[in-house]
Structure 1
Amino acid sequence: MIYGLTGQIISIVMSFIVRTVFIYTLGIEYLGVEGLFSSILLMLSLANLGFDTAMIYSMYKPLADKDKYKIQALMNLYKKAYRLIGFVVFIIGLAIVPILPNLMNGTTSVEHINIIYMLFLLNSASSYYFVYKQSIIIADQKNYIISKVHTKFVIISNVIQVILLISTRNYIVVLIIQILFRIIENIYLAKKANDLYPFLKVKNKAKLTNEEKKDFFENLYSLLLYKISGVVINGTDNIIIAAFLGIAIVGIYSNYLLILMTLSTLLSYIFYSVTASVGNLHVTESTEKKYFIFRVIHFLNFWTYGFCVICLWNLLNPFITLWLGEAYVFDKLIVLCILFNFLTAGMQNASTIYRETTGLFKKGKYRPIIAAVINIVASLLLVNNLGLAGVFLGTVFSRLCTYFWFDPYVIFKYLFQRSVQSYFKNYIFYFLLIIAIAYLTDLLGSYILVHNPMLNFIFRGILCLIVPNLVFFILFRRSEELKYVLNLMKKMIPINVNRRKGLSS
């Protein structure tokens, strides 16, 4: 968590610097092109088929058992699969070139659009030929190694990009630098994996048994369906916006998306760090303990995402105004829909963690496909009537029709063996509480007028820091979930101190 969060904070700072220089040197249309092409290639990543998740999951046991032959067999399969995937991504990407003009509403002043797209495609396809060896590092709980290396490459690459943007204003040169640094980083990490696990360098013909292959591909099939759904739900928004509303709107939205994705990534380091612990809990503890920890995670999920949404509602537009100017700001209705999408996605974390660690992802495995279809249809219908807000409402609608109710239903029925009504009651209460406090802080911020934009931003920030956390604490100070979290934090402090002393001695 420490290395991941530190690296992510550095990436955040560098991203904002590069984004600012990018906008002022090249303009919003180039930003829109980048957002559109990134979404297209996200769709092409369906070729991955969930191989990375299935492979990492398959390596946990052989790593614990030090079964080198099994690891070699898995890596051989992964190597062949990813080289094929890289080739498929490149071929499908080439087939899209003739229809690129149809994906952009109106003309664009961006020159050499096909060359830019080909560089994006090359960047995506080439990564598959080197990245597969990182899976063993991740499965062996040494992801901090990857975080350290990635942070160094991010700093160097972004500094060079800023220099090139200011000196040349040439987007193609910047993209070439991105490709070179990504390839070098992946080659370096592949070499690092060889150093950590020397048996990977030994030539071998290790293969999985037929039974092992069957188990692997059964898990892969279920994960594939989730992969398709996730890519469609997260990747189609920019494509629909570009096709119906224009490339410039994609560029403006990409600034909001950068902030939201940054927050999501930071929060994911907190929640998904407990995934392995929940997996252990599933096989060692009673049903009551599993249910209680689920409630704790759901409570923490509400507090962190609720706090973030309240801050974003009050500070997002003022921040972008200070950063880029009023021309890059959406109206309140669009921001509301964007945050509604962000909150409903974030509030699923507890259900997602339990679904993935207990094997319940095999229940209702076709539901993700239904979610993806609903998302596309609803977004296409609503964008014509509601414009940009309709795209996000379509995504929210698809999530409410599927993930929102089905995941907790399955978990409560098969794991906790109790009614799911208590979950939905808590969810609705949490949701309404977040809306009420967001309105309250906005009202307080508007009531006390501060004409200086920077001072207004700081004042609203102080309100957002105090009001929601104070209200949450007053309302939940007697709850079992909060008491458990506070006691756990108290226990962790002396443990960390003793560990440091032990390491020093």
Structure 2
Amino acid sequence: MGRVKSAARNIAFGYIGNIVTQLLGFVLRTIFIDHLGDTLNGVNDLYTGILSVLSMAELGVGTALNFSLYGPVARKDYEKIKSYMLLYKKAYRVIGLVIGVIGLVISPFLPYLVKQPQGIEIRDLTLYYFIFLFNTVSSYFVAYKYSLVNAEQNNYIQTNIITITKMITVTFQIIVIMLTENFYLYLLTAAFVELFQKIAVSRYLNKRYPYLLERKVAGLSKEETGEIIKKTKALVFHKVGDVARLQTDSMIISAFINVTLVGYVGNYNMVLTSVANFVNIIFNSVLSGFGNLIATESREKQYQIFKVYRFFACWVYGFSAVGFFLLLTPFIIIWQGAEKVLAVSVVACILIDYYFKGDRIVLSNFKTAAGVFEQDKYLALIQGVVNLIISIVLVQKIGLVGIYIGTIVSGLIANVTKPLIIYKVCFDKRVGAYFADSVKYLIVLVVILGILTGLKMTVMREVTVGSFLVMFGTICVVFNSLFLLVFGRTEEFGYVWEIMKKSGKRIES
């Protein structure tokens, strides 16, 4: 199956899975807040963030090994696949144990991270945390098997498994909350369902790839092992820096402001993530295709495809960022009430970082698929330090908005440096055209936002469901019409249009 067809299939299943899981998640969060309150909602979001930080123990091993699998999978070299997968298995078992130990060491410090947990005892905070920790640690004993599925460009298998598990988990959790209003049972329900899923998935993947159960496995050569170690060492810095930049906001909010505000921010992030996941599915689904492209095509072909995906990212992320800026707070008002609204300055900062993150996703995906890790191995670490310093200093001076200023500044470092590396190492081209396009895309988005902001003053004078829907339709029509007016005749749009037409014909047939 070709790269485009594989990506299209992965995207289709990704969309279906995302619609189901996000709708269920929205219903669950609404019921959770109604029955368990904002404080436990904040604790739930905080612990999710803490466990994301702990997951940095993976330190890029999975990324390095996934890259190593692209070649053997393309050649159908099963002996080499077995060798890499055995190494992956051993590494992830060690990682799971390391996360468990680090998690236990952190537990005594929870009272310093959870500020103003109204009505919750320290003993309960600790036990809640241990349940989260168990779920995270146990996942590492199965997760490595997905790497082979994804290297074959069959990401939809993992997507479908996650969707089914989410459906079952959320259904049981809703029932538990409504019948008992007990946070312990809520967490244990997810733990038991996900544990069963991990066992079932392990057996399924063993049947799909029976050769992985063979005991006779040749070891990797010193050169192959050395290459993985070299890339992993470089990725350690990327991983630690990314965690420090992306996964610490909830902890800073909880430690310096209060844990309830973590829940309010989480409401915004849930809506943002729910829609953003639709966008991310496209770019994550083509990651394995990038790996195959780089393994089989010329640099010029790689460059052409990169420009297309970059253009598409600016279009889709720009559209969604503008839509979020105009509609995210009205949605929160309709859903949760005006008392849980964040300041306009905070929302603006969140969405500025969201838009530039779109560029970074395309850059990072291409770098990952190409195995370009070492040239900027200290970059993410620098970003993480910059983010923590700015966020911690400014949160004490100007509050919540200071945290997100740190996020924006640290993120822009990568928006400048990653293109320099990719254009030199992967394409052997000058990077000026990339930054010229960046300015061009940004100017167009700002102009369109200004026009739509003016229209909003007429269309949405009051926040109601009706005015919200009318404004949503207005944004869809006006933004895309103006964007296509400017970029509709470009080579990049022509490529995207041809893919859309081919996809439409396959659906019709």
* Both structures adopt the same fold (TM-score exceeding 0.5): yes
**Structure 1 residue 289, shift from structure 2 partner:** 4.1
Amino acid at match of 1:88: V
**Structure 1 residue 206, shift from structure 2 partner:** 4.2
Cα distance change of structure 1 residues 29 and 233 upon mapping to structure 2, 3 Å threshold = same
Amino acid at match of 1:56: N
- 1:421 pairs with one of 432, 440, 446: 432
- Corresponding residue for 2:493? 482
Structure 1 runs (4+) greater than 6 angstroms displaced: none
- Corresponding residue for 2:119? 109
Whether the 8 Å contact between 1:382 and 1:391 is mirrored in structure 2 is yes
- Corresponding residue for 1:84? 94
Whether the 8 Å contact between 1:382 and 1:390 is mirrored in structure 2 is yes
Amino acid at match of 2:435: F
- Corresponding residue for 1:269? 281
Amino acid at match of 1:314: L
Q: Percent identity?
A: 34
Name whichever of 469-478 and 203-212 sits farther off: 203-212
- Corresponding residue for 2:224? 212
State how 1:256-335 maps to structure 2 within 5 Å.
256-282=268-294, 287-335=299-347
**Structure 1 residue 34, shift from structure 2 partner:** 1.0
Quote the Cα distance in structure 2 between the aligned partners of 1:334 and 1:34: 22
Q: Secondary structure at the match of 1:314?
A: helix
1:437 correspondence with 2:456: no
Quote the Cα distance in structure 1 between the aligned partners of 2:484 and 2:73: 43
1:120 correspondence with 2:97: no
Whether the 8 Å contact between 2:142 and 2:202 is mirrored in structure 1 is yes
State how 1:74-473 maps to structure 2 within 5 Å.
74-111=84-121, 112-204=124-216, 206-282=218-294, 287-400=299-412, 402-448=413-459, 450-451=461-462, 453-473=464-484
Quote the Cα distance in structure 2 between the aligned partners of 1:204 and 1:155: 39
Amino acid at match of 1:445: K
Tell me the TM-score normalized by structure 2: 0.92
Whether the 8 Å contact between 1:134 and 1:189 is mirrored in structure 2 is no
Q: Secondary structure at the match of 2:286?
A: helix
**Structure 1 residue 71, shift from structure 2 partner:** 2.8
- Corresponding residue for 2:8? none
Q: Secondary structure at the match of 1:360?
A: coil
**Structure 1 residue 253, shift from structure 2 partner:** 0.4
Quote the Cα distance in structure 1 between the aligned partners of 2:69 and 2:151: 6
Name whichever of 265-274 and 228-237 sits farther off: 265-274
Quote the Cα distance in structure 2 between the aligned partners of 1:480 and 1:64: 29
1:4 correspondence with 2:19: no
Cα distance change of structure 1 residues 359 and 107 upon mapping to structure 2, 3 Å threshold = closer
Quote the Cα distance in structure 2 between the aligned partners of 1:247 and 1:32: 5
Segments of 5+ residues of structure 1 without an aligned counterpart are: 501-505
**Structure 1 residue 376, shift from structure 2 partner:** 0.9
Amino acid at match of 1:329: V
Quote the Cα distance in structure 1 between the aligned partners of 2:357 and 2:399: 21
Quote the Cα distance in structure 2 between the aligned partners of 1:317 and 1:470: 24
Deviations 1:193-215 (A, max 9, x none): 11111122333464323222111
Q: Secondary structure at the match of 1:361?
A: coil
Segments of 5+ residues of structure 2 without an aligned counterpart are: 1-10
**Structure 1 residue 320, shift from structure 2 partner:** 1.1
**Structure 1 residue 123, shift from structure 2 partner:** 1.3
Amino acid at match of 1:32: G
Whether the 8 Å contact between 2:334 and 2:463 is mirrored in structure 1 is no
Quote the Cα distance in structure 2 between the aligned partners of 1:193 and 1:91: 28
Amino acid at match of 1:252: Y
Quote the Cα distance in structure 1 between the aligned partners of 2:217 and 2:485: 62
Cα distance change of structure 1 residues 495 and 6 upon mapping to structure 2, 3 Å threshold = closer
Whether the 8 Å contact between 2:79 and 2:217 is mirrored in structure 1 is no
Which structure ranks higher in relative contact order (CA pairs < 8 Å, sequence separation ≥ 6)?
Answer: 2
Whether the 8 Å contact between 1:275 and 1:353 is mirrored in structure 2 is yes
Cα distance change of structure 1 residues 457 and 281 upon mapping to structure 2, 3 Å threshold = same
Deviations 1:119-155 (A, max 9, x none): 1111111222233223222223333222222222211
Deviations 1:241-300 (A, max 9, x none): 111111011010011111222233221221233334444544655554443333222211
**Structure 1 residue 40, shift from structure 2 partner:** 1.1
1:38 correspondence with 2:48: yes
Cα distance change of structure 1 residues 257 and 67 upon mapping to structure 2, 3 Å threshold = same
Name whichever of 161-170 and 429-438 sits farther off: 429-438
Name whichever of 295-304 and 106-115 sits farther off: 106-115
Give the paired residue count.
497
CA RMSD, aligned part only? 2.0
Name whichever of 322-331 and 169-178 sits farther off: 322-331
**Structure 1 residue 375, shift from structure 2 partner:** 1.1
Deviations 1:31-89 (A, max 9, x none): 11011111111111111121222222222333344433333332322222222211111
Whether the 8 Å contact between 2:242 and 2:383 is mirrored in structure 1 is no
Whether the 8 Å contact between 1:136 and 1:193 is mirrored in structure 2 is no
Whether the 8 Å contact between 1:233 and 1:372 is mirrored in structure 2 is yes
Quote the Cα distance in structure 1 between the aligned partners of 2:462 and 2:505: 47
Quote the Cα distance in structure 2 between the aligned partners of 1:356 and 1:203: 31
**Structure 1 residue 326, shift from structure 2 partner:** 1.2
